[in-house]
A = this chain, B = another copy of it.
């Protein structure tokens, strides 16, 4: 009785979520402390204290029908202005309130922009490995996701293959840096080259190709690495942002899109994205949390907690003989699986009560993602299992 596309979805429903359920089952069997669940990107670091304070202040000081009420589908104008000003200060950009559209998280924002842009059969390019939901977001609007194969040397985008895969039907290119699942930050050099390629192809085909940045991990960068701000490299850029990770608010569904004035067809883009936000049923980003984040633009989660996890896990795994790039951002580590089949390896890991996600879920077989947004002690207790695993299969 359900639709054909949803029947397919039900039949092959997300491996990541299946892992989550498996984790609960193992926890019930062995006790939660003895199951090491590295399968989900659910931040374990608590939101900064400013969040609670902001909520209290808003409830005590602002008008409740405004705080919880409808506003323009794009969001509260003062909130959008505050975000624009903050971005301008940090990145020397020139955004106005009108260039910001508040969204139901980054996932909501990506759906809004694909609804806005895609005609059936339009192509969206992305680089493996990538977050598997991108395929759904593009298919929701009958688009085609075209995947550029992974560059497993350093997990920067494979620009040679990228160039060959751009066609007159290419409507957008979706990138994610710091990257899920690798933790790699795309370098300024990479972005500049990618922009050059896009400009040349736009001219060759007489089309506009939008670069869409999915940036929920922007603030989670280590070792003072720079995460290039995309609009400074390429005119037709749209940035999707979320506070899910930067303020540990993933359940609250609060984020925004930046649609800069220099983007092709700007007026229509802005108008259509506003309407798309409404007709897709988001209507507007949750109102209280719009007001909250405007008061927390300088706040940060405890990045040092994630960094300690990263150092512990990376150094230990490398010492056991695992191969992986040291991640510069996000809270993921992407190992080459010591078995050729990542699916087999992840199943084997389960026998040690270790839950990790096969690279196949990210279009990158032979690898596995370890989400280290967990307690430090969880990593400590799981390390012997990781060591035993590689020894067993070597």
| A-to-B contact residues, CB < 8 Å | 1-4, 6-7, 9-10, 13-14, 17, 40, 42-47, 51-52, 55-56, 59, 64-65, 67-71, 73, 104-105, 107-112, 115-119, 122, 133, 136-137, 140-141, 208, 210, 248-253, 264-265, 268-269, 271-272, 275-276, 278-289
Contact = CB atoms under 8 A, between A and B. Distances in A.
A157 to B, nearest CB: 24
B6 A272 contact: yes
Contacts of A55: 55, 59
A238 B65 CA distance: 30
Tell me the number of copies of this protein: 2
Nearest to A10: B271
Contacts of A285: 253
Given A2-B117, A6-B116, A116-B3, A251 B68 contact: yes
Given A68-B252, A283-B105, A275 B9 contact: yes
A278 B9 CA distance: 11
B282 A282 contact: yes
Contact of A276 (B6, B271, B283): B6
A264 B1 CA distance: 7
Contacts of A64: 46-47, 51-52, 248
Nearest to A9: B275
A285 B281 CA distance: 12
B288 A252 contact: yes
Contact of A272 (B10, B275, B282): B10
A253 B69 CA distance: 10
Contacts of A105: 281, 283
B251 A288 contact: yes
A45 B68 CA distance: 11
| Residue from A17, A112, A265, A272 whose CB has the most chain B CB atoms within 10 Å | A272
Contact of A6 (B115, B133, B136): B115
Contacts of A281: 104-105, 107-112, 137, 280, 282
A9 B272 contact: yes
A47 B63 CA distance: 10
Contacts of A17: 73
Nearest to A253: B286
21 contacts: A6-B275, A9-B272, A9-B275, A10-B268, A40-B70, A45-B65, A68-B248, A68-B252, A69-B248, A69-B251, A71-B251, A104-B283, A107-B282, A108-B283, A250-B283, A251-B288, A252-B286, A253-B253, A253-B285, A253-B287, A280-B280
Q: List the 3 shortest-distance A-B pairs measured between CB atoms, nearest first.
A: A251-B287, A111-B281, A1-B265
Nearest to A115: B6
A36 to B, nearest CB: 18
Given A9-B275, A250-B69, A252-B288, A117 B1 contact: yes
Contacts of A65: 43-47, 248
A253 B275 contact: no
A197 B55 CA distance: 50
Contact of A269 (B1, B71, B110, B248): B1
Contacts of A133: 278-279
A47 B65 CA distance: 7
A273 to B, nearest CB: 9
B69 A272 contact: no
B269 A2 contact: yes
A69 B2 CA distance: 30
A285 B47 CA distance: 19
Given A10-B272, A70-B250, A251-B70, A3 B56 contact: no
